[in-house]
Structure 1
Amino acid sequence: MRSAKVMQRVKLLLLLLVVPFVFSCEEKHDVAGLDRFSQSQLVVWNRHLSEIIIKDIFSPPVASRIYSYPNIAAYEALAPAYPAYQSLSSQLNGLVNVPQPEEGKELYLPVSSIIAFSTVGQKLVLDELKVQEYEAAYLAQVKEIGIREEVLHNSIDYGRQVGEHILAWAKKDGYVETRALTRHVVSNEPGAWQPTAPDYMPAVEPHWNKIRPFAMDSAAQCKPKTPTAFDSLATSDFYKDAMEVYEIVKNIDDEKLLIARFWDDNPNVSYTTGHVMYFKQKLTPPGHWMSITSSAIRKNKLDMMEAAETYVMVATALADGFISCWDAKYAYNSIRPDTYIERYIDADWDPILQTPPFPEYPSGHSVISAAAATVLTHKFGDNYAFVDSTQLAIGLPTRTFNSFNEAAIEVGESRIYGGIHFRPACDLGAEQGKTVGNLILTKLRTRRMDQTAQL
């Protein structure tokens, strides 16, 4: 009897030791924790992308392309988890047959979404290793929260498939081919663009209109109105436009100076001290509006799918805005205020901001800001007040706006205050940008037809 009782106690002791071990070997799969973590990840990854774009010193048009493709990949990889949403396949020019999840495989699509973003992003920037570091850190966090190994493997595999599909589509947009095209030939016509001080750089991206648009039928679909005809006579409208810029810069006050610098967004400003020239890198114009978009997403606590939808619509508006604007810039090839004022008004005049190296009309800032503001207004409303803290990173204070359109209007004014644009380039550029934004909203349908809600 005693021997039997001893054996029972031994068995019970072994059971008490083995059961916790068995449970400890089970894979932790914390869906609620993963969902909470995933909600902010597209904001985090767009910030990562901005940091790399700044360091890699991409021009504004190129930056807009870099923001677009990863966000499209993220959207496409996540959409199958949300029945109300649909793919942008056959809506975006040239995008077809985006891979769908394989039936019977368990996936966690928020992970697939970030992997798709990372897969695309690292091939569009110079610092590919940095993106890989971000991805490794992200996956370590996912594992720490808890996800079954098989689900993680399936999710990563699907994200890579979507990312590679988007990369194959991106390779056909004409970007690579434009790298080999000739430089812009500077014209000696009186009203033509000339390289400006201090660097006298050649014109940036003169063939950007050859890039395949995302939603527009062609680069010329959203043409701006004709600008003021060039004239050097003091009685002409063009001269009056130049005098407005001249007087504003000459008598600029602190508020206008702050506005000019707040929206400068020149990715690579040169400074000269004695015989030494150095450069400072900053956020690009599309990066500034992606930052504003991130702020609105955080403030409204959008879930990951709605955040993906918002990012993809804004990024597409920015990208097509640049294609449309650059098509007009090199068609009109307009002289900059710096050149005109020094030639016809005051030889010693200098603008507040460093003049960007491309033709004046229309204002790129005004076009893409109006395009982004149009999309954001459709999403968040006409009277969406917000605080823009984007420039705290470079020591400038926050600015408060009552709407996205109010911010876009200030962007146009900032280019006049900075001495780098005439008013028609800003006002008519804003009209062009609104046309682009409305086209994006009309052509791209993120929600299925049976859903009443739409971006």
Structure 2
Amino acid sequence: MKSVKSLLLFLFAIPFIFGCEEKHDQAGLDKFSQSQLVVWNRHLSEIIIKDIFSPPVASRIYSYPNIAAYEALAPAYPAYESLSDQFNGLSEIPQPDTTKEMYLPVSSIIAFSTVGKKLILDELKMEEYEVEYLARIKEIGIKEEVLNNSIAYGRQVGEHILAWAKQDGYVETRALTRHVISKKPDTWQPTAPDYMPAVEPHWNKIRPFVMDSAAHFKPRMATAFDSTTTSDFYKEAMEVYDIVKHIDEEKLLIARFWDDNPNISYTKGHVTYFQQKLTPPGHWVSITSSAIRKNKLSMMEAAETYVMVTTALADGFISCWDAKYAYNSIRPDTYIERYIDQDWDPILQTPPFPEFPSGHSVISAAAATVLTQKFGDNYAFADSTQLAIGLPVRKFNSFNEAAYEVGESRIYGGIHFRPACDLGAEQGKAVGNLVVSKLRTRKPEQTAKL
């Protein structure tokens, strides 16, 4: 009787024992993780919009978290290698402890979050996203020890990237003097409606990611300033003037689609209010995310793609801003009102920094060059980025076609002369090609097989 009772107790205990075993759903975790870098770049964009960062600063904010995510994930993929010896100033990345079981996709997201929250203003929002993410991971099923080890490694990589970021000169530029307005007739002047001071005049002091210096790809001089009606410069101004004066619906839509001004002001009576939108780098991160989703890239391929694109965007801004303040060129708004028609207004609000070269043209060409290398020259896609602000989807036959339209949009909007867009695109292509040639994500023996 005693032996029967003992047997029954053991049988009743079996479901209890197995019921206490930790759930670890590898397939579920892998499926969930595949899309997470797209999700987290969207989270980052939402915060950047609300925090109202300028385009150059936004490019910096996109780059470091994506590098951290890449580096934390790469050890799980033998074909990929660290970029520590390829980025300027980045020392060797801490490697995971092979004696501890980890799930590196979690480490990757934690590294992204760890870095991202220190570069933005709304840290609490990023922490909320992280809490939600970890709750979902636990719901799917992961061993507690594996989760804790993975989080710890992600934090370690994130802190390493943050230490590197702190040395790029950004903090020091916060204390530097404002841009001094020149009285020379060919120079940039603050423009309506807000007459804001020049944005980030010392951005060329930020350490580049792969370029040798901020002046690595300084564009050649644009058309020489001239106010006489027979000059080439005057003719370029007249092109902008006539396009804006007789703009059709398609050109107006293109101008607004690529506006990407992060903070537009509107005045009604005595009340001024602002609309926050994506920045130019945010728009290209959105395009990148769409391509990643469409092609169902693995998390590692997504990390690789984001690193390449955001590096091109970041160095594109450093290169462009160096040229902007070196040339300190007058905007169409100022020139046309002064020499052609004092009552003229551009379609778009003129951004508060010098005209040449066009920043959006530079970084769009840089991003398009990288994306073309990844997905091909005839990659047709639909850009739904601006649905959030009520603009329709635009379709393109290639990334380069989209980048070209960006340049045209700045002329249609009345905020750039043509050389700023054409020469800016050349500058951006050079930046993109450098990123493609210099950043080696795949190990040589693996690259040869691909």
Q: Which band: TM-score by shorter chain?
A: over 0.9
Task: Map 1:442-453 to 2 at 5 A.
Answer: 442-452=437-447
Matched, 1:339 2:330: no
Distance in 1 of aligned mates of 2:303 and 2:448: 15
Displacement of 1:103: 2.2
Counterpart of 1:154 in structure 2 is: 149
Displacement of 1:12: 3.9
Matched, 1:210 2:230: no
Q: Among 61, 65, 74, which residue is 1:66 paired with?
A: 61
Q: Number of residues paired by the alignment?
A: 450
Displacement of 1:118: 0.2
**Partner amino acid, structure 1, of 2:277:** K
**Partner amino acid, structure 2, of 1:225:** R
| Aligned residues of 1:268 and 1:280 also touching (Cα < 8 A) | yes
Deviations 1:137-175 (A, max 9, x none): 000000011111111010000000000000000000000
The secondary structure found in structure 1 opposite 2:407 is helix
Distance in 1 of aligned mates of 2:437 and 2:176: 33
For structure 2, the 5+ residue unaligned runs are: none
Deviations 1:317-362 (A, max 9, x none): 0000000000000000000000000000000000000000000000
Counterpart of 2:186 in structure 1 is: 191
Q: Among 436, 439, 455, which residue is 2:431 paired with?
A: 436
| Aligned residues of 1:447 and 1:454 also touching (Cα < 8 A) | no
Matched, 1:239 2:234: yes
**Partner amino acid, structure 2, of 1:197:** A
Q: Among 164, 188, 203, which residue is 2:159 paired with?
A: 164
Distance in 2 of aligned mates of 1:397 and 1:129: 33
Distance in 2 of aligned mates of 1:12 and 1:277: 80
Q: Which range moved further: 237-246 or 12-21?
A: 12-21
**Partner amino acid, structure 1, of 2:182:** S
Distance in 1 of aligned mates of 2:217 and 2:48: 27
Q: Among 355, 360, 369, which residue is 1:360 paired with?
A: 355
Counterpart of 1:286 in structure 2 is: 281
Distance in 2 of aligned mates of 1:302 and 1:9: 57
Deviations 1:57-100 (A, max 9, x none): 00000000000000000000000000000000010000011100
Counterpart of 2:306 in structure 1 is: 311
Displacement of 1:380: 0.1
Counterpart of 2:175 in structure 1 is: 180
Counterpart of 1:131 in structure 2 is: 126
Distance in 1 of aligned mates of 2:22 and 2:234: 73
Distance in 1 of aligned mates of 2:160 and 2:361: 33
Distance in 1 of aligned mates of 2:311 and 2:448: 20
Deviations 1:176-203 (A, max 9, x none): 0000000000001010000000000000
**Partner amino acid, structure 2, of 1:180:** A
The secondary structure found in structure 2 opposite 1:451 is helix
Displacement of 1:262: 0.2
Q: Among 246, 250, 254, which residue is 1:255 paired with?
A: 250
Taking only the aligned residue pairs, the percentage that are identical comes to 83
- TM-score normalized by structure 1? 0.98
Distance in 1 of aligned mates of 2:154 and 2:70: 11
Matched, 1:33 2:50: no
In structure 2, relative to structure 1, the CA distance for the partners of 1:444 and 1:68 (3 Å cut) is: same
Counterpart of 2:48 in structure 1 is: 53
Distance in 1 of aligned mates of 2:429 and 2:114: 32
Distance in 1 of aligned mates of 2:448 and 2:176: 44
The secondary structure found in structure 2 opposite 1:365 is helix
Displacement of 1:17: 1.7
Counterpart of 2:215 in structure 1 is: 220
For structure 1, the 5+ residue unaligned runs are: none
The secondary structure found in structure 2 opposite 1:247 is helix
Deviations 1:215-268 (A, max 9, x none): 000000011121110000010000000000000000000000000000000000
Task: Map 1:43-122 to 2 at 5 A.
Answer: 43-122=38-117
The secondary structure found in structure 2 opposite 1:450 is helix
Counterpart of 2:135 in structure 1 is: 140
The secondary structure found in structure 1 opposite 2:310 is helix
Distance in 2 of aligned mates of 1:268 and 1:137: 29
| Aligned residues of 1:362 and 1:425 also touching (Cα < 8 A) | yes
Distance in 2 of aligned mates of 1:446 and 1:199: 44
**Partner amino acid, structure 2, of 1:347:** Q
Matched, 1:20 2:20: no
Q: Among 347, 356, 371, which residue is 1:376 paired with?
A: 371
